[in-house]
Amino acid sequence: MITIGVDLGDRSYDVLVGAGAARELPGVLPAGARRAAVVTQPGIAIAVDPGIEHTVFDIPEGERAKNLATVESLCERFAAAGLTRADVVVAVGGGVVTDVAGFAAAVYHRGVPVVHVSTTLLGQIDAAIGGKTGVNLSAGKNLVGAFWQPHAVICDTDHLASLPPREHRSGMGELAKYHFLGGGHLDELPLDERVAACVAIKAAVVSGDEREDGRRAALNYGHTLAHALEVAGGFDLRHGEAVAIGLVYAAEVAHRLGRIDADAVAEHRRVVDGYELPSTLPPGTDHRQVVDLMARDKKAVGGLTMVLDGPDGVEPVTRLDRALLLDTLHAVEPVHA
């Protein structure tokens, strides 16, 4: 078992990584917790035992269910079950579950503890860690949410063996991101160590910038275009697939701005291709719509904003030229025979 601490003072917590880690759940619940509300989805065939009285609350499948209506329904059911601040929410699932359950926990009774049992690669290396919770609006992804740090996070790598191939590939998109955030040659590590290495990178960033006032924005590398593509396509693209395209696009934008050279762009393409991830836009993508959606991104506080690589590493760049962003989309268009 590998334990990584997220150092946030009195909100600090541990992330447990390893095969069979879910068996540790009873030991990481808040002291004195009376009951657990286990939030999951019908398609997640993973049962957990929190070791105390508990009730299972299912939420709908898919990214389209990540909305305020789902949060409202969940909170109504919490209230009907008599859930109190002396209880705990246990989120069992991928990013949709931890985002929705975490947000519900943040707002129900103005905050009840939450423990995440992440069951997907994407969730284990990214979504379940850091306390960012949120849901989507029709205008964009993750536009409504709260910072609500979990009491603990469990990443049981045994759960990854049953992932459908596309879900596993989606996680690889986030994994590819960490190559450019100090992860180095992650593909050479055993699975447990690979997950733990990503967790350690994110934990270090979150510990230094809990509310995304500075350095934490780097964790959104590749995400500005990714979120726009997800919304524009009605979430037909998986998140990690969209991030992979976003990484290549971000490299191309950085190159056009003179921030990185052609070799760095080639390295982005090599990493993405090495994980057998997409690197081109879905056919029929409306370029203007995508750039409009990028302008609504929650990071866009100083005009069109992207996280880009450069001489000082990955960092936010503001006031980007719309025409340049539109033109650069041609660099990630699919090649037609």
Q: How far apart are CA 162 and CA 314, in angstroms?
A: 33
**DSSP classification of residue 92:** E
The residues that are catalytic are 110, 132, 174, 202, 212, 216, 220, 223, 227, 239
Sort strands 114-118 and 140-147 into parallel, antiparallel or unpaired: unpaired
Query: Are the CB atoms for 137 and 297 separated by under 8 Å?
Result: no
Catalogue all structural domains in the chain, each as residue range(s) with its CATH number. 2-170 (3.40.50.1970), 221-332 (1.20.1090.10)
pLDDT of the residue at 302:
67
Helix ranges (H only) for the chain are 25-28, 68-80, 95-107, 121-122, 165-178, 191-208, 223-232, 239-256, 262-274, 287-295, 322-328
What is the per-residue burial (b if ≥16 Cβ within 10 Å, else e) of 175-201? bbbbbbbebeebeeeeebebbbbbbbb
Q: How far apart are CA 155 and CA 54, in angstroms?
A: 21
Output the six-digit token pair for 22. 């879910």
Q: How far apart are CA 202 and CA 15, in angstroms?
A: 11
**DSSP classification of residue 310:** -
Q: How far apart are CA 70 and CA 149, in angstroms?
A: 20
- For residue 322, give Cα distances in angstroms to 60, 288, 289: 37, 9, 12
- For residue 143, give Cα distances in angstroms to 66, 172, 264: 11, 24, 32
Q: What is the mean pLDDT of each run of 10 residues along the chain (337 residues)?
A: 96 97 97 96 92 97 94 98 96 96 98 97 94 92 94 97 89 93 85 94 93 85 95 90 97 98 97 95 95 82 88 94 97 80
pTM recorded for the entire structure: 0.88
Q: How far apart are CA 305 and CA 106, in angstroms?
A: 28
Per the DSSP assignment, residues forming a β-bridge with 317 are 306
Output the six-digit token pair for 298. 């929650």
pLDDT of the residue at 337:
43
